[in-house]
A and B are shown apart, each in its own frame.
Chain A
Amino acid sequence: MRNGRGCSLVFVLTVVLASVEPDEAMAYIDPSAGGLLVQLLLGGLAGIGVVVKLYWGKITGYFRKGNNDET
């Protein structure tokens, strides 16, 4: 959890994903969503995998939605 590779992965993940997220502050948010995801990350490599999967789902969902809009 505290090793260098884990931290690097988190950093790279954050920087890459930050570019696809809007930088708008919240209109309405689940106040605990961010806290839950941080805990998943801190839960070890398996948790990091879950977070990556969740974001991958968001990215593919975004493109799928884009394709559907075009057709």
Chain B
Amino acid sequence: MTKPDVMSDIVRAPGSYRDPCGFVFFHGNRVFRALTSEGLALYWDFRQSPLCQWAEEGHWVSPTWETDAVCANGTTESFPDMSGIVEQKRIPFISYPYEWSFDMLKDAALHTLDFLLHAAPYGFTLKDATAYNIQFVDGRPILIDILSLAKYVPGNPWVGYTQFCQQFLFQLALTAHKGIHFQPVLRSYFEGIPIHVMKPLLGMAGWRKSGMFKHVMLQSFFQRGFQDSNLALKPNFQTLKFSLEHVSAIVRAMKNIVTPLRPSRPKSHWVGYAEHRSYTDLDIEAKREFVEKSLENARPDSVWDLGCNKGEFSFIAQKYADLVIAIDADPESVNELYRHCRENRIPGILPLVMDVMNPSPGLGWHNLARQSFFGRGKPAAVLMLALLHHLCVTHNVPFAYLFHLLVVLDAGYVIIEFVPKSDPMVQKLLANRDDVYSWYNQPAFEAEAFKHFSLVDRRQLPTGKRVLYCLKRNTH
């Protein structure tokens, strides 16, 4: 028998405190779940069921296995009340639903519903339906919380119904029926949109849309009706002999509502950005060549493509890096990128909706339950192409701030495009504002850059305006 690993420097996941059956902790790069006796029983129920094999082989759940690893002080001393530890495959980069595009959230919703329908014949259900239990790996949703699986007890409702509505259905309906992007709403109501907020947001006209009368209007009405009541409603499900067939019928009906939902907003101008930009074909070719050559030389294992638009350069980065986080503030561009990756089965790209000017903060209890974006990882290389003028001219970010961020991110390489004032896109930005950007020039840019980075390569694009830089972080 091999000697078990002894783990010291254990870090408990700050957001993992709700489930009484166990919690997540980290040891170095590895992810574990400490389980109570009840949690361990749930785990073995699932592990010994044919559902487990089906779910792991079909990549429905994140692989989890028993481990003989023990904590430095012994499992019971470090975690009193815990009966066992299982290890879970690490997700390359944790993302949150308020960073997903419409189709990402919709796919996560359908993944949850399909899993419920597949689990039902095996007598299993999900104890909850939180979107935070889903992560994206290689462009596909995957359920990461194995403890949310439980044997269904007859006479119970679909326990996760309300949570599903608040974290999936309402968000999708807002974008599909009202044209409201759900990301900032979900970031504020990070547990999901409460029914009393959803009802006025949807408005009278929204009730006619599929499922909205039942799941918004009626739910809101019933909630108001019983807000002061201490009447126990659950026994009614036992009286009615509620079964998995009832639950599955509701889940199927929910799937029929979610499946046809599409974003209703007209396409943003950023979606057509690549077609309407000010580059010549020669510029684009030179830019692609420069990015490809720089990445080939740097060989980073992870790349963050900030301001990725529809991912033109993320695809190049994906050839050299294991993981490309492709970030853009425009939900529709990110959605197109996600759909392209999904339809063409392109692995290794995680598209996320996020404004670099206002990145995801730490949220929830102690600001730690959901980590800030920059707290979740460090890129080996950063791409900042055609972004600088938006940060510096539109948002007045000084060069010193920009390079300070890149230093804090600890990126080994930065591939960045300098867009001069004479560029038509910058001229457009300056058309209706005072030019208070005397500091925005190439010598000042280089002076700040070379304080922290050394020049690997520099190329002026053929039109003679924009300049590309490949910078390598100075080691002190």
Contact = CB atoms under 8 A, between A and B. Distances in A.
Given A1-B253, A23-B224, 18 more contacts: A1-B249, A25-B224, A26-B227, A27-B227, A28-B227, A29-B227, A30-B223, A33-B226, A34-B221, A36-B237, A37-B219, A38-B161, A39-B157, A42-B214, A43-B240, A43-B250, A50-B236, A51-B222
A42 B250 contact: yes
Contact of B196 (A18, A26, A35, A51): A26
A35 B236 contact: no
Contacts of B224: 21-26, 29, 34
A25 to B, nearest CB: 5
Contacts of B231: 54
B233 A33 contact: yes
B222 A34 contact: yes
Given A35-B162, A39-B157, A21 B239 contact: no
Contacts of A18: 221
Interface of B: 157-158, 161-162, 165, 194-196, 214-215, 217-227, 229, 231, 233-234, 236-237, 239-240, 242, 246, 249-250, 253
Contacts of A26: 196, 223-224, 227
A35 B161 contact: yes
A33 B165 CA distance: 13
Contact of B226 (A10, A27, A30, A39): A30
A31 B242 CA distance: 21
A10 B221 CA distance: 12
Looking at chain B's contact residues, the main secondary structure is helix
A35 B218 contact: no
A51 B195 CA distance: 19
Nearest to B159: A32
B239 A14 contact: no
A29 B233 contact: no
A36 B157 contact: yes
B253 A42 contact: yes
6 contacts: A10-B214, A10-B218, A25-B224, A37-B219, A40-B157, A40-B233
B225 A35 contact: no
Contact of B218 (A28, A31, A38, A54): A38
Q: With a 10 A CB-CB cut-off, give which of B157, B195, B220, B225 has the most chain A CB atoms.
A: B225
Which 5 A/B pairs are nearest by Cβ-Cβ distance?
Answer: A34-B223, A35-B162, A37-B222, A34-B219, A29-B227
A55 B239 CA distance: 17
Contacts of B214: 10, 38, 41-42
A31 to B, nearest CB: 6
